[in-house]
Amino acid sequence: MTRIALITGASSGIGKATAEAFATAGYDLILCGRREDRLEQLVTSLSSRVRSIALSFDIRSRKAMAHALDSLPANWRNIDILVNNAGNAHGYDPVNAGDPDDWDAMMDSNVKGLLYITRALTPGMIERGKGHIVNISSIAGKETYANGTVYCASKAAVEALSEGMRLDLTQHGIKVTNIAPGAVETEFSVVRFKGDEDRAGKVYEGFEPLRAEDIARTILFAVSAPDHVTIADITILAAAQASATSIHRK
């Protein structure tokens, strides 16, 4: 039977690449994000391969999320896989100078949004006795670096949530996978540096960064594991990267 996967943050980057990888594996896809036009384009581009549906809402709003999920047709409600990918870094400052609006944005999407949608989908998974949640964390959740303190804290929270969800949900047949990527070249740094493309480009200079597809392939690997296997935690770094801040540049 075809499995249904819901991906948050599907309009670009790792989320979009995951939609494409899942399409090659034949999953039905619920593509969530804020940018409706991009989601609709993705639905159209996948339409020859799989059934997919766009759900446009801001993960930070519980109300908008509930409204979007309520609009799902009955045959889209038995969601097997939740990929908690939505999230971003906003700003790059020491705590004494950071913008609290940036902190709110990171905590509200990376941590609270992830929790809201997990809370919404897990009762159904429990009822059906199966499910798989993939949380996209970061190397920043395992190592804290200067100027990224709040982003790192939000991802450290994702690490804790993955562990805790596994403790809470394993008894119900739900698998939880935590994936922690290193330097992936997407819109990530452009968003972090508030549209400064030159500054963002420098982050990936002198080495070959990870691509969104590298993470997507790993997510697909985790959800394709046999029933008796849980891929609990994977850290993926660029080959030139030894830690969050140690990158061998030419």
Residue window 80-119: x/- pattern of binding to ligand 8X3, with contact defined by CB under 6 A: ----------------------------------------
Closest distance to ligand 8X3 from the beta carbon of 188 (Å): 6
Q: How far is the CB of 186 from ligand 8X3 (least distance, A)?
A: 9
Residue 225, C-beta contacts closer than 8 angstroms, at least 6 positions apart? 175, 231
Stretch binding ligand 8X3 (CB under 6 A), from 30-38, 166-174, 181-189, 215-223: 181-189
Query: What phi, psi does 13 have (nearest 5°)?
Result: 55, -135
**Considering only residues 65, 106, 139, 223, which one is a binding residue for ligand 8X3 as defined by CB under 6 A?**
139
Q: Is 151 a catalytic residue?
A: yes
Please say which residue, 168 or 205, places its beta carbon nearer to ligand 8X3. Answer: 205
b/e per residue 125-160 (b: at least 16 CB within 10 A): bbeeeebbbbbbbbbbbbbeeeebbbbbbbbbbbbe
Least Cα distance to 138 among 122, 114, 120 occurs for 114
23 binds ligand 8X3 (CB under 6 A): no
244 touches ligand 8X3 (CB under 6 A): yes
Q: Which residues contact 190 (CB under 8 A, 6 or more apart)?
A: 196, 197, 200
3-state secondary structure of 46: helix
Minimum CB separation from ligand 8X3 for residue 57, in Å? 23
**To which residue do tokens 């996209």 refer?**
136
Closest distance of CB 182 from ligand 8X3, Å: 6
Of the candidate spans 76-84, 102-110, 182-190, 206-214, the one that interacts with ligand 8X3 by CB under 6 A turns out to be 182-190
* Contact status: 183 vs ligand 8X3 (CB under 6 A): yes
What gap in Å lies between CA 193 and CA 180, rounded to an integer? 21
> Which DSSP category does 140 fall into?
G
Shortest Cβ distance from residue 200 to ligand 8X3 (Å)? 11
Output phi, psi for 223, to 5 deg.
Answer: -80, -10
Question: If you ran DSSP here, which 8-state letter would residue 242 be given?
Answer: S
Contact residue for ligand 8X3 among 118, 135, 138, 177 (CB under 6 A): 138
Residue closer to ligand 8X3, measured from CB, 46 or 158:
158
Residues in contact with ligand 8X3, counted by CB under 6 A, come to a total of 8
Residue nearest to ligand 8X3 (CB): 138
Residue 41's Cβ-side half-sphere holds a number of Cα atoms within 13 Å equal to 9
The residues annotated with a catalytic role in the active site are 151
Residues that bind ligand 8X3 (CB under 6 A): 138-140, 148, 182-183, 188, 244
